[in-house]
Structure formats: structure tokens, C-alpha cells
Amino acid sequence: MIFELLTLFPALCDSPFADSILGKAVDKGLIDISAHNLRDWAEGRHKITDDTPYGGGDGMVLKPEPVAKALDDLRSSGPRPRVLLMTPQGVPFRQHHAQQLAKEERLVFVCGRYEGFDERIRTLVDDEFSIGDFVLTGGELAAMVMIDAVARLVPGVLGSSGSAVSDSHADGLLEHPHYTRPATFRDMAVPDVLLSGNHGAIERWRRREQLRRTLQRRPDLLEKAVLSEQDQRWLEE
Ligand code: ADE
């Protein structure tokens, strides 16, 4: 799967994935991550990509033409990309979006900088995403957050294929707690059931813990989660 960033700061996007699981996935050829410098599509000797806002006001606004030209070029070669604009005004990014986007062959992330971008840039993209209700200095970190969340769902990227299935949010609930050795750490013992070898009992315990955690920490998630009758009974206990 191909991930591309369109940015005024391509160097910002170079290294973060190098040593991680995603770096290994790049080495294996499962994913490819690259950054394009928006300035390469800017006109004139000064390669200007921004300008003052019509109507006055502080700050600079990203011009539409360099983005349009860049996207025309990127769309004219290779697999058809889905183009995403990073903006705090976008759709709040959720795990189900990551699952949908992981089915695409190629994603292009348009990263704004400055105070904002010309409104007409919105007409050039397929979707707009926000990674949360806060404002970053640019879309690059937001794009990298999304790339991380999507790339780990690409088949083969995670070592064990089961681990993405049981993720927090994968089924609309938070994940159950995990334990490893030692069996007792600072007087805190691992729950007996996990040492029992009884896989049915372990699965039931994990489901109950998922429900308990979600109820405690994120009750809002329970409204949309798909729950069995047994789940409902456990929640009411
Ligand atoms: N650009 C600036 N802030 C952002 C946010 N919260 N999400 C996505 N892109 C952004």
C-alpha cells in the first residue's frame, strides 16, 4: 500500500517510521511512505505557496494552484489515489475509518500549514479528516498518526495477524487487560483464570473485562457497540 504526503516540510515526514514495525514493513515492501514537497509545484522564481488573506486578517493562506497541480500530477500516474485533507474541521478520525482506508491501494495526505488554506482546496480532495479537537501547526503529524493507524492494518505488517483484530476500538469496545511474567509483581497477582489453561473461561473473562473497562472509561462507546444478550447481562451485573 502506498502512502504519500504533500507538504511544505517533507523532512518532517522522513524518519518517524524508520526503526519501527512500519520501518520493517517498508523494508519488506508491504508499504511505501514518501513525502512530496509542495514547493515543487509552485510558480516563479520564489516558488511562493502562500499569500495574504482576502478581506484582511493575520497570517498567510495556502494558495490553491500548487495543490491543484500537485494532485493533477499525482493522480495522472500510478494507482488511483484517495486524497485526504488534514484539517481540524474534518471528520473525526476513528478506527473504523482506518479499517476502510486500509483497503485502498494508495492514499495521498494533503498537509496544510500557515493559518489555513484557500477554501477551494476543499474541492480537490476526496475526504477531510481531523485527528482531534485541537489545533496543530500543520497537518503533517496528523497525517503520520493516520498512516500509522492504517498501515498496521495492512495484511502482514503486524507480526501476529490476530493482534489487530483484538485491538481497542476494533469491535467498538476497549481491549481487555494484558499480563505477562512475573505472576506476581509488587504484590499484584495475575488473575488466576489466565493461568488456568481453560480457554473458554479465559475468553469469557476477557469479554467481561472489555465490557467492564468500556463501561468505566468510555461509556459513550457502548451506545454504538454490537452487544450479545450475554454482554447485556454482564453489563447489568
Ligand atoms: N491540522 C491542524 N490541526 C489538525 C488536526 N487536529 N487534525 C488534522 N489536521 C490538522
Give catalytic status of residue 45 as yes or no: no
Q: 80 lies in which domain range? A: 2-151
Radius of gyration of the chain (CA): 22
Q: Do 52 and 111 have their domain in common?
A: yes
Write down the pLDDT at residue 212. Answer: 98
Q: Which of the listed residues 151, 186, 207 is the one where a domain comes to its end?
A: 151
Q: Say how many C-beta atoms besides its own lie within 10 A of residue 168's C-beta.
A: 16
Report the percent of the chain where pLDDT is more than 70.
Answer: 98
Q: Do 111 and 228 have their domain in common?
A: no
Q: Do 10 and 110 have their domain in common?
A: yes
Give catalytic status of residue 217 as yes or no: no
95 pLDDT tier (thresholds 50, 70, 90) = very high
Q: Do 54 and 85 have their domain in common?
A: yes
pLDDT higher than threshold 80 for residue 96: yes
Q: Does residue 157 belong to any structural domain of this protein? A: no
Write down the pLDDT at residue 164. Answer: 80
pLDDT higher than threshold 80 for residue 134: yes
pTM listed for this prediction: 0.94
Report the percent of the chain where pLDDT is more than 90.
Answer: 88
Using the structure block, give the residue that is written with the C-alpha cell 501547526: 137
- pLDDT one-digit tens code per residue, 181-223: 999 999 999 999 999 999 999 999 999 999 999 999 999 999 9
Q: Does residue 161 belong to any structural domain of this protein? A: no
Expressed in angstroms and rounded, the spacing between residue 184 Cα and the centre of ligand 1 is: 43
| CA–CA distances in Å: residue 13 to residues 142, 180, 192, 219, 220 | 11, 34, 45, 36, 34
Q: Do 21 and 112 have their domain in common?
A: yes
Pocket of ligand 1 (CB under 6 A): 86-88, 130-132, 134-136, 139, 142
Mean pLDDT of 42-50: 96
**pLDDT higher for 192 or 166?**
192
Q: Do 99 and 123 have their domain in common?
A: yes
Mutate which of 5, 84, 130 for ligand 1 pocket (most atoms within 8 A of beta carbon) = 130
- Report how far residue 139's alpha carbon sits from residue 75's, in angstroms, rounded to the nearest whole number: 20
Give catalytic status of residue 66 as yes or no: no
Which CATH number does the domain housing residue 183 bear? 1.10.1270.20
Write down the pLDDT at residue 168. Answer: 81
ipTM: 0.98
In sequence order, the 6+-apart residues with CB closer than 8 A to the CB of 186 are none
- Report how far residue 88's alpha carbon sits from residue 216's, in angstroms, rounded to the nearest whole number: 28
Write down the pLDDT at residue 124. Answer: 98
Expressed in angstroms and rounded, the spacing between residue 8 Cα and the centre of ligand 1 is: 15
Question: Which is nearest to 36 in space by CA: 2, 69, 70?
Answer: 70
Write down the pLDDT at residue 162. Answer: 59
Q: Does residue 7 belong to any structural domain of this protein? A: yes
Q: 16: part of which helix (H) or strand (E)? A: none
Q: Do 220 and 182 have their domain in common?
A: yes
